[in-house]
Amino acid sequence: MTAHSSARPPQRVTVLGATGSIGTSTLDVIARHPERYRVHALTAGTRREALLAQCRVHRPAVAVLAREADATWLRERLAAADIATEVRAGEAALVEVAEAGEVEVVMAAIVGAAGLLPTLAAVRAGKRVLLANKEALVMSGALFMDAVARHDAVLLPIDSEHNAIYQCLPPDRGDGLAGAGVTRLLLTASGGPFRGWAPDALAAVTPEQACAHPNWSMGRKISVDSATLMNKGLELIEACWLFAARPEQIQVVVHPQSVVHSMAAYSDGSVIAQLGNPDMRTPIAYGLAWPERIAAGVEPLDLFQVARLDFEPADEQAFPCLRLAREAMRAGGTAPAVLNAANEVAVAAFLDGRLGFTAIAEVVEAVLDACPAVPADSLEQVLAEDARARRLADQRLSLAR
């Protein structure tokens, strides 16, 4: 189905994390289809200049920043430009624009644990949620998926790998993967900028090197996660929840060209893959228009130019974060939330020059050992363990100085 009725009113969209790479790509796709979409709200952390520029173009009803001082700054400049956008500040404002009654679609693209509460609010309000914030699902797992079912929300994965798997699976999976005849999910990884490096060569890696991803344009935190393969570990956990899979049903396959975005293996021997140029506008357009298809501004894949596709196993000796993520998912309960919290603290310290690259995994493993998994029975329990893991990670960083 590709046609769009001109009589259908435009859908209202809130973009959580509008100034990041996913947010800007989302606005690019929206701008290509003004008859289909209207921006209701844009949110950012502290990037007030970038949010001002977006408000000038997209004229949202609401804009949200983390701090009141930045909100005041933005409010004054929008008033001077005669732009009627309402400006709010703080976490409560994020939740409000995520669950607003006039909003039909929410792009959840805030990086890290900060995206959990507004994303969950959008789910509880029964929205179509385009999930680019993998940490929300990593942290709250069963609670998140239970909320999706209970509130009849539509959850569409935007990470290129999960979006690919979503497209490779039948729409009605019945009793999970087995009911659909699926034996394995093949989660592809570029391998990051240090693919093939020996473990002892990684100790001297700098933040600039870690953020220089060979294929994708991403923010600094997710670029470091890609370099350590923690990003792939978080995606493994996310895939388990999205597709009701066990960790052993998911195989990570390093594919340096980033053309095959992921695959599903079936019991009859078939392997179905989704291919495309490495451009996040493709899965974003898929999520916005599903079950229809719309132009994303992405060039068609030229297989003759690609010429070859390579695949190899992930090196968990050099990149232990992938192993730690799989172990956390097997442990269950609050272990994935602890993993994510410790990683966020360690990555921030690495980017600040306070921690070595290989020490990121060491901090995460130490915190996981110090925080045995307990049942994730409530959001309060998850957030308490998240806070505890951050304190322990900070303590370990202090001892290392």
C-alpha atoms less than 13 angstroms from C-alpha of 234 in its C-beta half-sphere = 31
33, 228, 243, 310 from 322: Cα distances, Å: 39, 8, 19, 20
CA-to-CA separations, 390 to 340, 343, 397, in angstroms, rounded? 9, 9, 11
- Cis peptide bond N-terminal to 375, omega within 30: no
Distance of CA 39 to the CA centre of its chain: 21
Cβ–Cβ under 8 Å, residues 191 and 216: no
Contacts of residue 269, defined as CB under 8 A and 6 or more positions apart, other chains included, come to none
3 state SS of 349: helix
Instruction: Enumerate the known binding-site residues for 1-deoxy-D-xylulose 5-phosphate.
Output: 134, 160-161, 190, 213, 226, 231-232, 235
Contact assessment for residue 141 and residue 336, using Cβ atoms and an 8 Å cutoff: yes
Quick check: helix, strand or coil at residue 182? strand
- Binding site for NADPH, by residue number, is 19-22, 45, 133, 135, 219
Detail the residues annotated as belonging to a binding site: 19-22, 45, 133-135, 159-161, 190, 213, 219, 226, 231-232, 235
- Residue-wise DSSP of 130-181: EE--HHHHHHHHHHHHHHHHHTT-EEEE-SHHHHHHHHHS-S--SSHHHHTT
Mind giving me the DSSP string for 359-387? HHHHHHHHHHHHS------SHHHHHHHHH
What is the Cα–Cα distance from 159 to 280, expressed in whole angstroms?
8
